[in-house]
Structure 1
């Protein structure tokens, strides 16, 4: 890997770790688009997958048992369906199309919420239909570009879960989803020696990022936590639009 690769990859992976450890992956969708500036998008996704798995494992001890089981029972079947669709349609949908669609949905979600009086808005409850659909979208977009965060946030944010439960639920969701993605990624020949070595070289960075995210999470109150999460969703959406336009 070149100097340009590490110049982009180091901050991207550090931000991914901070996001996963402290803010439910709010900024995690930025990593692959940033790395795609110096690598082909499919290679960038292949390099990132082992790193994401490591980030999920590092945060597991902190989040173990804190997740919302009711939501996970709704979300995980949808994620499996999305990953399956992504595997079977690999190469059919362009990453540009997926990025533009996901970016538009993300921005729309944030803008709609900004128009609602949040003080008067009713807190949403777990819903099988909505949860399964958005989780399937998350599984698909996660397979294509590791950009599954926005659909999951769209489902969970309106529930106003306690912040630790919110982050723990997202951690558990992607811990299992990313582990499952390893199988089709290997089957499709995405784990070359060069890609695996690049992933290995970035593992210490993501570990530091997760620890930093865990430290920050405990120092951000509930209101600002959700403001940061929505800001992350908006920034990710804008970045996806700009990157794929």
Structure 2
């Protein structure tokens, strides 16, 4: 009850109901395609609350659902994925920690643009049938460069999915491995992001109850999305997800330009 009272001080009841709905939808989409929870949360939540509070809110649901995703085939498979992508992940985490410390010094409009532009570029290139191609194993330059970009975006916005998905797709990573590796990378990144934003002040006593409150609908949505993933052709749902991401990204750009 005390947590709910803290949440109602941060937003209106209607905004809170919308936040719960957005968390559920984000969970469903993540369960189906393995990514997009932070993007959907930051886009949907920032329509009714401040981008900083939206960022604080998405962190715990992201940590928990990625743990579920990473461990779906067991700890050993997750560990093997971690070792295989350790260079990319290590770079991402280091840059994420550094860039997270600047989140409160950057204007909200600029942060929305930083999030929105990569989302639109990623969705547009995928929908146009122009995926990147990188030789496997990747060069050290590609691994570090893409990891640094993903970490920079992730620290500022809590969103590092598009470059990671593009990277794994460019390597022709098999579907099952693709989903698990995303969970490992996003999960560890989300844990680091949590501690980084405790340091930045984004996650604090006033904002943490909101993040806790939207965990249950995110988990329920994730469970439902995984069921759909197991039974329905994923390619069609991925295309639908990309259309949703395109709309979300364009909305973020609109808000960043118009204020």
TM-score (norm 1): 0.84
Alignment of 1:74 with 2:84, yes or no, is no
Question: How far off its partner does 1:110 sit?
Answer: 4.0
Partner of 1:15: 25
Question: How far off its partner does 1:49 sit?
Answer: 0.9
Question: How far off its partner does 1:238 sit?
Answer: 2.2
Range moving further from structure 2, 123-132 or 146-155: 123-132
**2:23·2:214 contact (CA, 8 Å) conserved in 1?**
yes
The counterpart of 1:144, out of the listed 145, 156, 166, is 156
Partner of 2:105: 92
For structure 2, the 5+ residue unaligned runs are 1-7
Instruction: Give the secondary structure class of the aligned counterpart of 1:190.
Output: coil
User: Cα RMSD over matched residues?
Assistant: 2.8
Question: How far off its partner does 1:147 sit?
Answer: 1.7
The counterpart of 2:14, out of the listed 4, 12, 23, is 4
Range moving further from structure 2, 214-223 or 200-209: 214-223
**1:106·1:150 contact (CA, 8 Å) conserved in 2?**
yes
Alignment of 1:125 with 2:125, yes or no, is no
Partner of 2:253: 241
Name the CA distance, whole Å, in 1 between partners of 2:47 and 2:245. Answer: 21
Partner of 2:46: 36
- State the aligned residue count: 243
The counterpart of 1:175, out of the listed 176, 183, 187, is 187
Alignment of 1:50 with 2:60, yes or no, is yes
For structure 1, the 5+ residue unaligned runs are none
TM-score (norm 2): 0.80
The counterpart of 2:120, out of the listed 82, 95, 107, is 107
Partner of 2:167: 155
Range moving further from structure 2, 66-75 or 180-189: 66-75
